[in-house]
Amino acid sequence: MNRSISIAIDAMGGDNSPAKVIEGIKLHSKSSNDVFYKIFGDEKLINPLISKFSIDHKIIEIYHTDETISDDDTALSAAKKGKNTSLWKSIECLKNNNADAIVSAGNTGALFVIAKLNLNMISNIDKPALSALWPNKNGMNVVLDLGANIECNEKNLIDFSIMGAALHKSLYNQEISKVALLNIGSEELKGNSIIKNTYQKLNEIKNPLFEFYGYIEGNHIMNGDVNVIVTDGFTGNIALKTAEGTANFLINELKKISTSSLLGKLSSIINLKNLRNFKKKLDPRLYNGAILLGLDKPVIKSHGSTDSFGFYNSLKVCEKIIKGNLIDKIKQNI
């Protein structure tokens, strides 16, 4: 079966793997007609799941690996486990140009280290950045860095702006990419020297890939005025965890209110459609699939605790950035 895109998949990483990974592949194969899946992991566990979910053998290839990397492994110990783990083998497949991208729900630190050991950085980029999608009231934000770099200089933040805009264009080609720096205020004089210097330089840059909006505060991230939000990994990771915690809090409190009394139950029945739409908007599985930007090949991190639907969405993101020529867009504009 001739398929134009090939994705290498670490089937053993994350909670409830490989079951959620294989079911995620099944879900994705229903919506895509041109993706071939190269699956790395324990074939004794994978093969029964292929049969269970009735996946066409013509669209997959299984590469058996005896070793896996656990969530408890440090990045260094994971790298020392050698080249026979499912994560290493899947990244090596990408390195050797036998796949167009790699997706893993496994150990984040291990993924970063093994990817950097095997893949090259894009020329003129000093540091990779972890980017992900966040909803806003008009669509989606691309936010980076979310934890790959604790400290960043002006050049790093400018590189992140270009890479984030390239990612946004790859995913949403019809939209204008609008970049903003996450800051403690919207006034030009607010922030530390690195933020202020980056602001001045981005104001002077005329890049065809994006428009520079200026500063954005944390409480305006979801307003939809911009769609590419740039910060260092320390601040970005705190913002991400805060947003995830807030979303979970709202969903759990809504459940309590709607089931705690007869009035709450009646109200939830009357507003069932609205409540479902609200819950769906906050569902993190819809936005699953972080991208490690800066490497010369696409590396996608699925959340370790997600389910098959979340993994399916990470494959959707993967397919979009391959078809959107993400790496070429970064190289052309960096």
Q: Using one digit for the tens of pLDDT, what is the confidence trace for 34-74?
A: 999 999 999 999 999 999 999 999 999 999 999 888 888 88
Position 51 scores a pLDDT of: 95
140-198 residue pLDDT tens: 899 999 988 889 999 999 999 999 999 999 999 889 999 999 999 887 778 889 999 99
- Asked whether residue 66 falls in the same domain as residue 178, the answer is no
Q: 51 - beta bridge partners?
A: none
Preceding omega of 145 cis (within 30 degrees of 0):
yes
| Residue 332 within a domain | no
100-143 residue pLDDT tens: 999 999 988 899 999 999 999 999 999 999 998 888 888 889 99
- Is there a contact between 229 and 212 (Cβ–Cβ < 8 Å)? no
Preceding omega of 128 cis (within 30 degrees of 0):
no
- Asked whether residue 116 falls in the same domain as residue 131, the answer is no
Burial 240-249 (b: 16+ CB within 10 A, else e): beebeeebee
Q: What is the pTM of this model?
A: 0.87
| Residue 331 within a domain | no
**Half-sphere exposure for 110 (CA within 13 Å, toward CB):** 29
CATH number for 247:
3.40.718.10
Q: Which residue has the tokens 């002077």?
A: 204
- Rama region for 259: left / alpha / beta (φ>0; ψ in -120 to 50; rest): alpha
Give the structural domain span for 251: 126-287
- Asked whether residue 261 falls in the same domain as residue 320, the answer is no
- Is there a contact between 317 and 291 (Cβ–Cβ < 8 Å)? yes
| Residue 334 within a domain | no
| Residue 82 within a domain | yes
- Asked whether residue 270 falls in the same domain as residue 137, the answer is yes
- Asked whether residue 166 falls in the same domain as residue 102, the answer is no
Position 233 scores a pLDDT of: 92
| Residue 77 within a domain | yes
Number of domains in the chain: 2
Position 258 scores a pLDDT of: 65
> d(Cα 228, Cα 158) in Å, to the nearest integer?
12
How far, CA to CA in Å, does 197 sit from each of 123, 157, 169, 178, 204? 23, 10, 26, 19, 11
- Asked whether residue 99 falls in the same domain as residue 133, the answer is no
Chain-centre distance of CA 114, in angstroms? Answer: 17
148 DSSP assignment: S
227-284 residue pLDDT tens: 999 999 999 989 888 887 877 787 777 777 666 666 556 555 555 565 566 566 667 7
Position 214 scores a pLDDT of: 93
- Here the tokens at position 223 are 């307003």
- Asked whether residue 140 falls in the same domain as residue 283, the answer is yes
Determine the residue type at 82.
G
Position 269 scores a pLDDT of: 59
**186-190 contacts: CB < 8 A, separation 24 or more?**
186/214, 186/215, 186/216, 186/217, 187/215, 188/214, 188/215, 190/215
